[in-house]
Structure 1
Amino acid sequence: MDKQLQGKARAKRAGRRQATRPRPNAGGRRLRLEQLEQRALLDAGPLLITEFLARNDSGIYDDWNPPRRQDWIEIYNPTQEAIGLDGWYLTDSASDLRKCRFPAVALGPGEYLLVFASGRASGSTMVFGPGGRLHTNFALATEGEFLALVRPDGATIASSFAPQYPPQVADVSYGWSMDFATQGYFSLPTPGTGNTDEPMTVPRGQVLINEIMFNTARGTPGSVGFEPERTALEFVELYNKESIPLNLQGWQLDRWWFAAEPVKPVSSITSAGGIATVTLPAHGYSSGDSVLITGAAQTEYNGVFAISNVTANTFQYAVPGSPPSPATGAITAQRHVRMLAGITRENLV
């Protein structure tokens, strides 16, 4: 390259460097020009939908006049920078990712934003309520649907429940655990704050131990007329009192002092309002046993399973006539049925 071309090349490179270098102002100070908001939107990392409530019967009210209990969606910023939400979208339709646009709002680092999925917005952009809360143009479906947070390009999904979240129940939220490892239900919703409890695979108290059948031995072993316990006739009946189907795969029935027995068949699905009957021919239920349902991934299903409206882990039962009550005759089997008003008993001779 001759000297003239080399000089032009050096001048061109110097011009490029000069164009990107801050220039001093009249006072001798350097001005720094940065597009902080654009950098946050592009580089700060994804926002997350951490929790939502699709059926708000007795929870928080919105900020409208008059106020009403509305569905809500919680968004979390896990990054170390504020993120501008202007141009982001919330949607409940996989075919319309630009369904509801965020206005010019920002979410600080580690902060949560609560958005009411109230359907109050009439256009394609969220509206502010009188109290400053955001409202969408759609509500959440209790039977389950697609839900996503979409980046400003209208095509990139930052966070979603896809292809759809599972069916929802009243006043029980759904979302992520604190470590974002698992999804599930929260019987104590925490709108605007982190989820401190571990999520449940089904809402607490929606599965009831509805009926128990056990057969006891009659007489003394070796004596005339002795009849051994007929374990093949014994069963535990589970009732799904909610309007959503429940998959029982991985659940267990725990006999207290025996090892937990898996619910059989393990692929059983209890339909909405349906009943699943579980038999345990290997280990028959007998007087004084307790029954405890545990979740697939937990030793104890969040500490509580409701039997009707009673908070309890176990439901104990015993044969009438066994100590300390006096014997009343030969009883070969007994059935206990748990009703909303209490326990009714039917003795089978």
Structure 2
Amino acid sequence: MRELTRHRLFWPAAILVVMLLANLIFTPTFFRIELKNGHLYGSLIDILLYGAPLILIALGMTMVIATGGIDLSVGATVAISGALACSIIAEQADQEAVGGVLTAVGLALGLSLVLGFWNGLLVARTGIQPIIATLILMVAGRGVAQLITDGQIITINSDPYELIGGGYLFGFPFAVLVVVVVFAATAVLIRRTALGLLLEAVGGNAEASRLVGIRARRLLVLAYVFCAFCAGIAGLMISSNIRAADGNNAGLWIELDAILAVVIGGTSLMGGRFSLAGTVLGALIIQTLSTTIYTTGVPPQITLVFKAVVVTVVCLIQSPAFRAKAFHRSRPSTPAPSEAEVPA
């Protein structure tokens, strides 16, 4: 049992299970999954569906954090990707044309890759601190998204585009299937090749990695490009799910949830070893918490405070040092010998 509790995935998985079971108190049908019109519906399906963008962004953030960096611009990339795709589709005469939708999606993802490459260059080539380099795009990116949408909320009516974030395939939400494919491809690439080990080496000590022949700069750029790519897909999901692009609010503060998901999943912000499965569990915990807040009727004015308190408790429970202090049973100390017992 002790070996099980020491596993890095035990506490995130246990916390997720406890949170899911707690919802049964307020929603007795929380675990019910129904098949309607060939589609799966239920609270658990909703958690997976609405948590899909966060899982994608958290996966990309994991790669960046593994190198010892951070990416604060993923929310802006989400807004830019959705804004560009929706603006292109809105200008088309036939919004149902699959070719036009694929063109919009391709251009949006291409721009996301460029944004990630820009972040990577600032960090790897110019030596700017990651938090500053990505903060530049975090601030400017919202302005770029507003320029693309001309400061308006662009609405579209395209069934092929809606499939990305709100459609179903073989009964399952298409967004969830996309997450499964991205996660599987990332896991194979990271764990079945030397790439994961190289990323951990760069995160542990970038200078030492460079001295032993690892191309640390290229790996840094690759990590930021992948992170932006995941954010771009998430932007498509969010905008297609609501059939609109909001350059000001799309993906707002999602970078903080992504960082929390990575940390809850057991990856250190100092870089080095990381866990993709832990990140997915962390993202599901964040999304389950959001779902719980809505289903339990927590007042909107204290929603963020409630969320912060729960996340703090979750992080403390996962901390070995905190558990050792909080649950350690102090042994009775041996009484000091009296003066009569002290030998002369």
Fold match, TM over 0.5? no
The normalised TM-score by structure 1 is 0.24
Q: Report the structure, 1 or 2, having the larger helix content.
A: 2
The normalised TM-score by structure 2 is 0.24
Structure having greater relative contact order (Cα 8 Å, sep ≥ 6): 2
Q: Report the structure, 1 or 2, having the larger strand content.
A: 1
